[in-house]
A and B are shown apart, each in its own frame.
Chain A
Amino acid sequence: DIVMTQSPDSLAVSLGERATINCKSSQSVLYSSSNKNYLAWYQQKPGQPPKLLIYWASTRESGVPDRFSGSGSGTDFTLTISSLQAEDVAVYYCQQYYRNPITFGQGTRLEIK
């Protein structure tokens, strides 16, 4: 199985500041023939299901604010929130869909400092 490891486990950032969450996979999730990274990011707020933010590692889902961006390739990925808003308080998960079983990172809790 591909193990997904996020860092940090929790993060406190001031409003308007940048938040950076990292995700590392135990093996590459870059499919060479398509040159696409099979990685997604989700946001989960308390009492709600996860919400898709990013797929193909860097493609923002429609309707997601442009302060959210994804980057990285191979085994190392980053979710960046350029200017933290109060409504961004949530737990964030990365997910690989390179092969079954689909696996998620353990989550990163983002709070306001």
Chain B
Amino acid sequence: EVQLLESGGGLVQPGGSLRLSCAASGFTFSSYVMSWVRQAPGKGLEWVSAISGRGDSTYYADSVKGRFTISSDNSKNTLYLQMNSLRAEDTAVYYCAKSVIASAGPNWFDPWGQGTLVTVSS
């Protein structure tokens, strides 16, 4: 069974940093594009970032480019999101999600993790 388990969320002050992790199991982690998708309280879904299975290609939404860094450790089957210069508008539940097709292109997500809440507030 494919499982994704996020951790690392919490309360951080504006301008601060946080690193999220997503532990994956049940599939060949290095074969799939992995993404972070966030959801602000009471709002819709926003794709944040993605990384290729080999970790050699990364993609970012304009809203986080230059502040967030996605990475992965295939030896640990773990996805990361380093978030710097955090703003109030980054407050959201952050989900990690697995792409369905084992390719480098964008595709749909299944499954999603349960999410981890990041709150940016003073």
A residues at B contact (CB < 8 Å): 38, 40, 42, 48-52, 55, 61, 93, 95, 97-107
| Chain A hits for B89, CB < 8 A | none
A selection of 29 A-B contacts at a CB cut-off of 8 Å is A38-B107, A48-B114, A49-B113, A49-B114, A50-B45, A50-B95, A51-B112, A52-B100, A52-B108, A52-B109, A55-B100, A55-B108, A93-B44, A95-B108, A95-B109, A97-B107, A98-B106, A99-B106, A100-B59, A100-B106, A101-B47, A101-B61, A102-B47, A102-B106, A103-B47, A104-B46, A106-B44, A107-B44, A107-B45
Q: Is B110 an interface residue (CB 8 A)?
A: yes
Digitize B78-120: 1 where CB-to-A-CB distance is under 8 Å, 0 elsewhere: 0000000000000000010000100001111111111100000
B106 touches A97 (CB 8 A): yes
CA–CA, A55 and B46, complex, Å: 18
Choose from A61, A99, A101, A106 the contact partner of B110 (Cβ within 8 Å).
A61
| A-B interface contact total, Cβ < 8 Å | 57
Q: How many B residues are at the interface, by size bracket?
A: 20 to 34
| Chain A hits for B111, CB < 8 A | 49, 52
CA–CA, A93 and B47, complex, Å: 13
- Measured CB to CB, the closest approach of chain B to A51, in angstroms, equals 8
Q: Is B35 an interface residue (CB 8 A)?
A: yes
